[in-house]
A and B are shown apart, each in its own frame.
Chain A
Amino acid sequence: MLRQAHHERIEDVAVEAVDLVKDFGVTRAVDGLSFAVPAGSIFGLLGPNGAGKTTTLRLLLGIIDPTSGTRHVLGHSRPLEAAHEVGYLPEERGLYPSMTARDAIGFMGALRGLPLAEGRHRADALLARHNLGEWARKPIRTLSKGMAQTVQLLGSIVHRPRLIVLDEPFSGLDAINQQRLEELIRREAESGATIIFSTHVIAHAERLCERVAIIAAGRVAFDGTVDEARGRLRPIVRLRTRAADGAWRSAIPAGARHERGEWVFELPHDGPEPLLKALIDGAAGIETLAIERPGLHDAFVAIAGSGAAAEMGEATEADAMREAGAEQ
């Protein structure tokens, strides 16, 4: 009975990390990290640069071993045993420059157990589907950075893996290719694959992920659905009134901010009706009143701390500038 329950749990969970710790010398990169990724879901690993996202993914893939703790990948405690069912796009992209695009994809499939001929055959189809058919027999060194990145991504899914791990997959891509990548991730998830991706661009995670883990300083600060993350925060009220002062002011909570002529504060626990009643009865003269649901970014700021959010903001800006420079 217990055994059956265990099997069911493993089938439901594609990846499970329990108390993972990783030390590099005296530096603790991952500090007791635990989370579970449901099978068939899109799971986002969020965190500022240096939070331990890449190390966590490398631990899950078996590239490095943990100092302590356990990991289960598709039911295997040794991740490399599941390698044939896993696809991986590392943060630092790389391909053999002299290989043709189809050979590179075929080679990556062959590393994961797919026969080379079948891999090349699938590569032709995948490249054609992603408008790279005419580049199939051209060496990687002749492809643009975005094209090469797409080739590598196709190489990581050519063997139709059950688990796809993408480390910062959107970095280095222009807006059109980012959109295409989002579509590809959705398609793979619809076909039943589990997707784990790390990102420092919260908007991607917000659009794609069903669940996220927010990592800060090597620890999981939050693990749950995007809605649960947002649910950690009260909705935000933005209020603009004609009257500057009056009895209605007693309805404004103590921590409210007055920014650019409007009041900004968390929606009180008793909901919007008492607030509205107090404002009307107090003759506030409501000009505008908006109740906003907090975004994942707000949740991230609250959960990981404003310092981490600022780092992510800086990283995003820096990346954007670098990408813009690269495109020029």
Chain B
Amino acid sequence: MTRLLHPALVIARRDFTATVYSKTFIFFLLGPLFPLLLGGLFGGIGAQVASRTDQPIIAVAASEADYARIAAARGELAGALGKANLIQLRRVPVEADPAAQARRLLAGSTPVAAVLSGGLTAPRLSGALTADGRELAQVKLILAAARAPATPAPRVSLTAAKRSPARLAQNRALTGQVGQMILFFLSILLSGMLLSQLIEEKSNKIIEVIAAAVPIDALFLGKLFAMLAASLLGILVWFGAGALLIGALASGGLGMLPPPAVGWPAFLVLAVAYFAMNYLLLGGLFLTIGAQAATPREVQILSMPVTFAQVLVFGFASTSVGAPDANLGLAAAIFPWSSPMAMLARAAELPALWPHLAALAWQALWVALILNIGARLFRKLVLKSGPPTRWWRRRVSS
């Protein structure tokens, strides 16, 4: 074990230092900022566009008294349904020719979707409304409430419960889903780096020096340790910044997030452990695949199928959310590459801890297996300077 660990640590230390002290690591740390900025930018634009388009304005040609009752009725409905989902109202003075007024308003520069005239007694709506009749139904409800005699709202006594079991299960599933998403995005972010891990050694011809001094397993392990440490450092920075941001923007900070079934401390420990396992499992595989590439161009070519494979694995793991004990959920927990994500979702939803110990041991076994196979393949396919043995050639020669 020392024979493997000592050289692995030497390689890990070199790689970690080279990664963290490089200028590109700053860009790596800033990486998540770009999608957030873009998300915020396009989200803001989208929200602005949505606010302009989703709430049609209805011009109400009514007396001040009628409009006051209509506006009050809309206000009550907005309290129940949400302001954003309701039509907007604008009062316009009543004119002698309502039809001509409606035509003028609809053709004017103000974005009016329809014109309501006739007051509360004989309401008439003209304009272009959506086909599903949602806006017309809202107008009807508002008018019905406005026309009804004013009655005080009934008193409803409320016994507050912290969370209903159904709501809690839903929230925990959400925590599991968010956990899976974060794990998936981190893996996507790191997979490119993992694929190109051995390119430096191969292009700089250092691989011979290393291969003559240490077992290839140690080289693989060292590279994975280094990238794991660098990415954990990145995650520490990102999560610290994220927690500060949530704390600053939302009252209650992290406490407002739905609590996982195993509790926050255990969940966070498991999240780190599953991230490490997910990283090592994917890393071992990508290192093996990437090690066969001789140039950065070949790594780029490999990136696309690898990304698709990751999306498929993520899709498979996400079947465990909400149903961790169902057949698919269990299969996702057993399949090595989906296991960390599936088990993280399980930690959010079910309180038992022992399955996690078993899962971590199972995943560690696969990490060892992949590293061993990867090292063998590297020795067989990369370190040999002669042509590889092809099965058809063997057959022909025999």
Is there contact, CB below 8 Å, between A54 and B385? yes
- Show 21 A/B contacts (Cβ-Cβ < 8 Å), sorted by A: A24-B388, A24-B389, A27-B387, A58-B385, A62-B212, A63-B208, A63-B211, A64-B383, A86-B213, A90-B205, A90-B208, A90-B209, A94-B201, A94-B209, A97-B204, A98-B22, A99-B14, A99-B18, A111-B10, A116-B10, A156-B209
| Cα A86 to Cα B207 with chains together (Å) | 16
Which residues of A lie under 8 Å from residue B389 when comparing CB positions? 24-25
Contacts of A113 in B (CB 8 A): 6
Contact present for A24 and B385 (CB under 8 Å): yes
Does A303 interact with chain B (Cβ within 8 Å)? Answer: no
Q: A111 and B214 in contact (CB under 8 A), knowing A25-B393, A63-B383, A95-B206?
A: yes
> What residues of chain A lie closer than 8 Å to B212, measured between beta carbons?
58, 61-63, 83, 86, 88, 90
A residues less than 8 Å from B7 (CB atoms): 111
Assess the B210–A111 pair: CB atoms within 8 A: yes
Q: Interface size of B by Cβ–Cβ distance < 8 Å? A: 33
User: How many A residues touch B, CB cutoff 8 Å?
Assistant: 37
Question: Measured between alpha carbons, how far is A156 from B208 in the docked complex, in Å?
Answer: 12
Residues of A within 8 A of B388 (CB): 24-25
CA distance A54 to B385 in the complex (A): 10
Asked if A108 is at the interface of the complex by the 8 Å CB criterion, the answer is: yes
Q: Which residue of B lies closest to A167 (CB)?
A: B208
User: In the complex, what distance in Å separates the CA atom of A96 from the CA atom of B214?
Assistant: 17
**Min C-beta distance of B7 to chain A, whole Å:** 6
Inter-chain contact count A-B, CB under 8 Å?
92
10 closest A-B pairs by beta carbon, nearest first, are A24-B386, A94-B205, A90-B208, A111-B213, A92-B205, A94-B206, A61-B212, A94-B204, A88-B212, A110-B10
Is A220 in the interface zone, CB < 8 Å from B? Answer: no
B13, B208, B211, B385 pick with most chain A CB within 10 angstroms: B208
Residue of A29, A55, A107 near B14 (CB, 8 A) is A107
Interface mask (A284-320 → B, CB under 8 Å = 1, otherwise 0):
0000000000000000000000000000000000000
User: Max chain B CB contacts within 10 Å: which of A90, A96, A111, A116?
Assistant: A111
A29 CB contacts on chain B under 8 angstroms: 386
**Which chain A residues (109-158) contact chain B, with CB distance < 8 Å?**
110-113, 116, 152, 155-156
Q: Is the interface of A mostly helix, strand, loop or mixed?
A: mixed
- Rounded to whole Å, the gap between the CB of B397 and the closest CB of chain A is 5
Q: Is the CB of B209 within 8 A of A88?
A: yes
B155: Cβ under 8 A from any A Cβ: no
Which residues of chain B from 203 to 256 have a CB within 8 Å of any chain A CB? 204-215
Q: Is A176 an interface residue (CB 8 A)?
A: no
Q: Smallest Cβ distance from B77 to chain A, in angstroms?
A: 66
Pick the most buried of B6, B211, B397: most chain A CB atoms within 10 A of its CB. Answer: B211
Is B297 at the interface (CB under 8 A from chain A)?
Answer: no
Within 8 A of B (CB), among A24-60: 24-27, 29, 54-55, 58
The answer to whether A96 touches B204 (Cβ under 8 A) is yes
Whether a CB of chain B sits under 8 angstroms from the CB of A258 is no
Q: Is A80 an interface residue (CB 8 A)?
A: yes
Q: Which of B11, B207, B213, B385 contacts A112 (CB 8 A)?
A: B213
- CB of B200 closer than 8 Å to a CB of A: yes
Instruction: Judge if B104 is at the interface, Cβ distance under 8 Å.
Output: no
Bound CA–CA A156/B212 (angstroms): 11
B contact residues around A93 at 8 Å (CB): 205
From residue 42 to 88 of chain B, which have CB atoms closer than 8 A to chain A?
none
B382-396: CB near A (< 8 Å → 1, else 0) gives 011111111001000
